[in-house]
Structure 1
Amino acid sequence: MKSYFTALICLILFSACDKGRENSNGNQAILNIQTSELSEQAKNLNTIIPGWFADPTIKKFDGIYYIYATTDNEMLASGAPTVWYSTDFENWYNYTMEIPSLDAVNLRNYWAPDILKGDDGKYYLYFGNCQMGCNIYGYVSDTPVGPWKKLQKDDTPVISHGFPREGFPSLDAQFFKDDDGKIFAYWGTWVHYNGGYAVGELNNKTMNSITKAENIPPAQTPQPFEAPYMLKKGEKYVLMYSGGSCHDETYNVRYSYANSPWGPFTPGANNPVLSTTEDERVHGPGHHSVLQEGNDYYIVYHKHDYPMTRGGLARQICVDELNFKNDSTLLAVKPGSTSLSKLNTSSLPEDVAYNALAKATSSYHLDIPDLNYTYSPDKAVDHNNATMWKAASNVLPQSLNFDLGAVYPVKRIATSFEFASYYYQYQIEYSVDGENWNLFADRSDNRTPGSPMLDDGDVEARYLKLTILATEKTGLFAAVWNFKVYSALFEIPLPQLMNKASVNPPASQALREQLIDLDAEGLNAGDTFASVENKGTYGGKFNKEGQVSITEEDGAKVFQFTNGALILNKPVPESLAWNGAFTVSAWVKNPEVAQDGECLASWCDRYKFGLANSYNAFFYNSAHYGAAGHLDSHFDMPYKQLPEADKWHHLVLTFDGVTERVYVDGKLDNAQIMTLASQIENAKLIVGSSDAGEGYSGYLASLKFYDRGMEREEIQTLHRESSPFR
């Protein structure tokens, strides 16, 4: 597995980040914040977007604000290319843009976008992509939202990998137009490994090539990592950038200044100017852009989510004031302590659901070491883009009920679901007395994504009920950032923008059964065999490949894996795709626990996307992916205490759609918050190896696989009742 990580450039993108802060057991530290504290702290954050987005570029064209950003929290931040837009800086709308794919590969990476308006009145969009080397590609449109056309039909990048020096990854490009009309590009990531940032001049006629590119020596931008951003203050050129590691609390914003856009640059006097706050309510802020409104400046950046998802890849966009001491000196940003009243000009009618009494069929409660937090229903009506309600499991349907406190006219309801670029199917009902219900909106057949989803009607109601019936992606939860209710209609910016309906059917629901039940019962030690029956509800049989034998060990009939695997002759169940919940239970005895390999079970196609979180496998080794492998050390989960070699152990890896846990002999060993995008297309369910041949070399008495998560008590019962040595 280690060699695979080294070979894959997309994974290097985030593996190259400095190792995140670890506790003494080797697992990323988790904030020790209780529920009430967390909610109170989050209220003070200027989180302006309800969703998972990062690397924001903010622009204002013709009176409309636009935020172009990386779509986060899936497949190494490789979600759909969307844009957020607003006229009042408070109410934002999401639109999925039409961007042609590269000819050689289907476009997935849409990383750190930036946009320019050319002298010809057209709009030029640039973003990074690592599918054919880490390059910056360019697109052009007559509008800020597309549809987009390639700047070069043959997929020639605007800034190619290895430019201006060999091996240099060209990502995170930001463009700056000087007073004389010249346009400069600044780019670079992992620059602490790659000799500093790069600067070049964009051809402002063709907008598709860079000339005069050169390096900015690292000494001019101390402690750099990625995300350069240039602005001009008076006669000074201020080059801002992100340092530390994007995965943890060390991520920050720094700056240097110069008398020329080329440098040389002098480090700022008080770096960093934006960093993790002492109470950690703003965690890992960075990769920013700047909005100038008259003489006022605002920094728009991303931070890690609360509570923090493993690896720091569930990020949210915030904005705060940016102040100068003089033209070459920035003052420290104080997250959440400054007012955005000059920007917020909303004239929308009152949201009558604000702080309404909210109840739900269920709510997810995080209860893992040092973390106690509930995604409670009141978070859907708190006007806080940093918090959400989430159901207790991904079992659907799930409902939210609201008591507005009095009867109001209801003419529009705006619902922001967790993932803006995937559709949700739902219904909204209303009632005056809480007993007799009528339908306000029927989206039970909806296949159009969007945020917020707007539903109009003309009724009177005190009580409202939102019921989420299905999701586009397997394993997504019923989860809502905001539920807003208005007694009057209002104008929507860019009403002509309509997201396209998805061609994907609703995700399959889990059977919540024991799909796989594999053991050596019925076989005799020394028998030769070609296959073995799956006794679980999914049926089929496991075909033997390579060296797998039946033997007796410590009085039990077991499989002995030497250099082989057992492969199910049926497709991987659809309920295990994407963020599907699962539990894998195995009784194993490993004579020697290796550093690499030792895969107990695999059910994903790592080559389908080759992006972190798209792969899922269960291991028993001493590496960073010793328990759960997700293709990147920042997202994998090791054993805190490695199970002792040459002894029988009951190992369980379970994932409920939010929390991933590993149990050893009935006791919790490690846990982390995760979001997965498991790729099962063309994958095989393999026992004793992975699709890359990372063979297990030991004994296996049984393996059980469920398409649901399990709680501690159930796992302890399974530990007792499944033992082959009772």
Structure 2
Amino acid sequence: MNLKLPTHSFLLFFVFTICFSQRASFAQKIDRMDQNTGNPLLPGWFADPTIKKYNGIYYIYATTDNEMLASGAPTVWYSKDFSNWYNYTMEIPSLESVNLRNFWAPDIIHAKDGKYYLYFGNCQAGCNIYGYVSENPTGPWEKLHEDDTPVIKHGYPTEGFPSLDAQFFTDDDGQIYAHWGTWVHYNKGYAVGQLDNTRMDQMFDPAKIPLDQTPAPFEAPYMMKKGEKYILMYSGGSCHDESYNVRYSFAESPYGPFTEGDNNPVLSTNSDGSVHGPGHHSILEEDGDYYIVYHRHDYPMTRGGMARQVAIDKMIFENDSTIKKVNPGHGKMKDLIKVSDVPDDLAFNTKTTASSHYYLNSLEYDYEYRPEFATDKNNATMWKAENNQYPQYLEVDLGEEKHIERIMTNFEFASYYYQYVIKYSLDGEKWKIFADRSSNRVPGSPMIDDNDIEARYLKLEILGTEKTGLLASVWNFQVFNSKFDIPLQLENRASENSPAPISQRKKLIDINFGNIELNDSKRSIKNSGSLGGFFKVEDNVKLKELKGERFFDFNGGKLVFSEPVPEVLNWNGSFTVATWVKNPKVSNQGEFLASWCNRNKIGLANTYNAMVYNSGPYGAAAHLDGHFDMSFNEVPEANEWHYLVLTFDGVVEKMYVDGKLDNSQVMLLSSAIEDAKIIIGASDIGENFTGQMASFGMYDYALNNHEILKSMNKYRPNELISDK
């Protein structure tokens, strides 16, 4: 979208690569995936997976997804049996210039010196590949360069080339090669070079691979060797929609020249859309068989395709230079699953109820996040509470009295803590404590709670979470009759963050411009909402009159709130913005009605929220990137009064025009409110509204249809009769 952005190099890169994705398109309503599935492999939002096996333990390093343009914590998943996976947040020193946030497309090498070398992309200080070293595959990690010199710098080997998505390949002679590149259709092809095998911290002999050698590329190169052939696999299409896919070319050398392989693309969206936008992969070779580990989009699909999950399928070679088409699915890789001492899950398919559950009813989807999804052994489904109010509970009836020693809970976000209590009962009426995590500040997935009891009923009571606006939500709630060994004894650090504030269901801002007392000397307007305070009238804002009622004409002016943006609007906090407006001319850009985030603080998509009234691709809601913005389906007619309402309930963003739903999209916001102001009539950097406004309200929750109609009628303006 055509928003003005800070001039940081990483932002310029993303501005350059903006395009507008298609909406998800599914042929049928998917109510529930097959039970006891193997895909998705991990319970959570992760993308760009690299899979390795060290000393009998499988590790998956991945981008932590579904927040701030895939800028979550650097974590690793590990498993010994390929069935039960555990997440750990790694200790990685931050860059000196910025607090480390991007951990994109990681890869790892177990070098000949016995150490582990971790590489990943970061665009906070230029789109570079940085390197770290450790004695263990899970860290703690130390920088390869204390001065933050990248291993692969931006502009290497050609000026302007973003160094991201690097994957490393060790040839038979021990030489290590890297292939990297993203948005390569704009950047003239992938790059290849050699890594210094001794220092492991610098590249040499770089070259570009011509575009015609890797047809229809996008990003994510991956080099492997089959016999005497070098197979360069890569992702094509767009990561934001169903066109994403995996392709390959082959050569006699890691440098090429490459010839396009047969059967391209070898992995793509399947016929029923249940595997949607698969790509950015790595390969696991085990006992002569090959498995492709990749990410795919969620269902219902989050806007922009940034809520992705890791999956695995078998990959078969016809010969050393030909890969058969992969048949993506939901089944387990049974030949990978090892014998384990993990007992049967007593909660599987038992009767499960909850305090509430979320019903997603939008223009695109009709879907329920039902309680039983927490006990179905399916990482594609989860229980989600109706709203972000707490407490919420999930109750499981085991059918009869059972011996219980361990309960494992996969909450929606692995790297943020949840506060909860687990209770047990024999009759469903008298409850005792199994585990008290009411003051918990340690993240993890799964959260493991041990005791030794007899019970029929179990109740998980979720009391709050680390991040504002998260709903109580659980991928898996598993119950076991014995304790068992965990592959690695790793414990996450406790967070220093206090629990997130919870919506009080208040009207934060309440201004009816027809009833205000405007003090021309102070140029301020009192807020009648729960936040109190006042709005300072700035620049060219004129007061006019409507049959005894007043309204403001925003001719390049704005109203700026005196108080800080409340924490309840931080991160994924729910909100409603409602206003009566009239825009004499609806253009295709600008025309910001309200803003309450600071795009300069983080500057990534989904960290910025604003309500807009224009005819362009961010005409209804702006989020700093065209893949995530929301337009009007039917642009409200110019020079007419309209009641515009933008709501977000923690899951779905909706725009209502005159009481009717006009557009909607599934979202997870990561709003950046630090040093921000609530501004009426302009954005945070001055993109102004040039029309008229008769009332303005802002809430810390999402109004429903009935509430929207009620407020619309309460503040409806009369016809304009004169200027004042």
Scaled to the shorter chain, the TM-score interval is: over 0.9
Q: Does 1:426 align with 2:403?
A: no
Mean alpha-carbon deviation: is it higher for 595-604 or for 351-360?
595-604
- Spell out structure 1 runs of 4+ moving beyond 3 A: 5-22, 29-33, 40-45, 521-529, 553-556
Residue number in structure 1 paired with 2:722: none
Q: Displacement of 1:38 after TM fit?
A: 3.4
Matches of 1:399 and 1:338, distance apart in 2: 30
Where does residue 621 of structure 1 map in the other structure? 614
Q: Establish whether residue 639 from structure 1 lines up as the match of residue 628 from structure 2.
A: no
- The aligned counterpart of 1:436 is 430
Question: Which residue, 235, 240, 247 being the options, matches 1:242?
Answer: 235
Counterpart check, 1:117 vs 2:110: yes
2:703 to 695, 700, 710: 710
**In the alignment, is residue 366 of structure 1 matched against residue 328 of structure 2?**
no
| Contact preservation (8 Å) 1:247, 1:634 | yes
Q: Quote the residue 1:682 is aligned against.
A: 675
Residue number in structure 1 paired with 2:202: 209
Which residue does the alignment assign to 2:554? 561
Alignment partner, residue 220 of structure 2:
227
State the match for 2:483 in structure 1.
489
Distance 1:525 1:500, change over 3 A: closer
**What is the Cα deviation at residue 17 of structure 1?**
5.8
SS of the residue corresponding to residue 572 of structure 1 reads coil
1:524–1:551 CA contact under 8 A, matched in 2? no
Residue 406 (structure 1) aligned with residue 400 (structure 2): yes
TM-superposed deviation, 1:570: 0.6
- Cα offsets for 1:496-541 (capped at 9, x unmatched): x110000000001111111101132444799565100001111000
CA shift for structure 1 position 29 = 3.9
Cross-structure match for 2:311: 318
How far apart, CA to CA, are the structure 2 residues paired with 1:597 and 1:230?
45
Aligned-pair identity (%): 60
Return closer, same or farther for 1:445/1:337 CA change in 2, 3 Å cut-off: closer
Q: For 2:560 and 2:330, how far apart are their aligned partners in 1? A: 57
Write the distance in 2 (CA, Å) between the matches of 1:251 and 1:166: 27
Measure, in 1, the Cα distance between the counterparts of 2:331 and 2:665. Answer: 33
Letter in 1 for 2:469: G
Within the alignment, does 1:384 sit opposite 2:378 as a pair? Answer: yes
1:245 and 1:102 map into 2 onto residues whose CA distance is 30
> 1:256-655 alignment to 2 at 5 Å?
256-336=249-329, 339-345=332-338, 346-495=340-489, 497-523=490-516, 530-553=523-546, 556-655=549-648
Quote how far apart the aligned CAs of 1:716 are. Answer: 1.7
Deviation sequence 1:203-222 (CA, Å, 0-9, x none): 00000111000010111100
Whole-angstrom CA distance in 1 between matches of 2:69 and 2:646: 22
Q: 1:523 to 1:707 in 2, by over 3 A?
A: closer
Q: Distance in 2 between matches of 1:286 and 1:292?
A: 18
Give the distance between the partners of 1:254 and 1:6, measured in 2 at CA. 35
Q: Distance in 1 between matches of 2:343 and 2:628?
A: 43
User: CA 1:245–1:283 in structure 2 vs 1: closer, same or farther (change >3 Å)?
Assistant: same
**1:714 to partner: Cα distance:** 1.6
- Aligned residue pairs total 718
2:166 is the counterpart of 1:173: yes
In the TM superposition, residue 133 of structure 1 has moved relative to its aligned partner by 1.1
Q: For residues 44 and 94 of structure 1, do their structure 2 counterparts lie closer, same or farther at Cα, with a shift above 3 Å needed?
A: closer
Seen in structure 2, the aligned counterparts of structure 1 residues 339 and 74 have a Cα distance that, compared at 3 Å, is: closer
Query: Residues 5 and 251 from structure 1, CA distance in 2 versus in 1: closer, same or farther, beyond 3 angstroms?
Result: farther
Deviation at 1:622, TM superposition (A): 1.5
| Alpha-carbon distance in structure 1 between the residues aligned to 2:12 and 2:265 | 26
Q: What TM-score do the two structures reach when normalised by structure 2?
A: 0.97
620-629 or 135-144: bigger deviation: 620-629
Deviation at 1:434, TM superposition (A): 1.1
- Judged with a 3 Å threshold, the aligned counterparts in structure 2 of structure 1 residues 523 and 430 are, in CA distance, closer, same or farther, namely closer
User: Paired residue for 1:25?
Assistant: none
Consecutive unaligned residues in structure 1, runs of 5 or more: 23-27
* Aligned counterparts of 2:477 and 2:672: Cα–Cα separation in 1: 32
Q: Structure 2: which amino acid aligns with 1:450?
A: G
- Cα deviation, 1:141-200, whole Å, max 9, x if unaligned, reads 110011111101111100011111111000000000000000000000000011000000
Distance 1:43 1:88, change over 3 A: closer
Matches of 2:20 and 2:294, distance apart in 1:
20
TM-score, length-normalised on structure 1? 0.97
CA distance in 1 between partners of 2:21 and 2:45 (Å): 22
Counterpart position of 2:53: 60
Give distance in 1, aligned partners of 2:683 and 2:34.
Answer: 43
User: What is the aligned partner in structure 1 of residue 132 from structure 2?
Assistant: 139
Quote the offset at 1:20 in angstroms: 5.1
- Provide closer, same or farther for how the CA distance between residues 221 and 339 of structure 1 changes in structure 2, counting only shifts above 3 A: same
Does the CA-based 8 Å contact 2:27-2:273 persist in structure 1? no
Q: In 2, Cα distance between the equivalents of 1:306 and 1:14?
A: 26
CA distance 1:45–1:284, change in 2 (3 Å): farther
- Deviates most, 586-595 or 1-10: 1-10
Q: 1:31 is matched with which residue? A: 26
Asked whether the equivalents of residues 37 and 331 of structure 2 are also in contact (C-alpha less than 8 Å), the reply is no
Residue identity matched to 1:388: M
Q: What is the RMSD of the two structures over their aligned residues, measured on CA atoms?
A: 1.7
Range moving further from structure 2, 521-530 or 613-622: 521-530
Out of 668, 672, 689, the residue aligned to residue 661 of structure 2 is: 668
Equivalent residue letter for 1:145? T
Which segments of 5 or more consecutive residues in structure 2 lack a partner in the other structure? Answer: 720-724
Cα distance in 2 for residues equivalent to 1:357 and 1:274: 37
Displacement of 1:653: 0.1
Q: Give the letter for the 1:31 counterpart.
A: F
Alignment check: 8 A CA contact 1:115 1:125 kept: yes
What is the Cα deviation at residue 573 of structure 1? 1.1
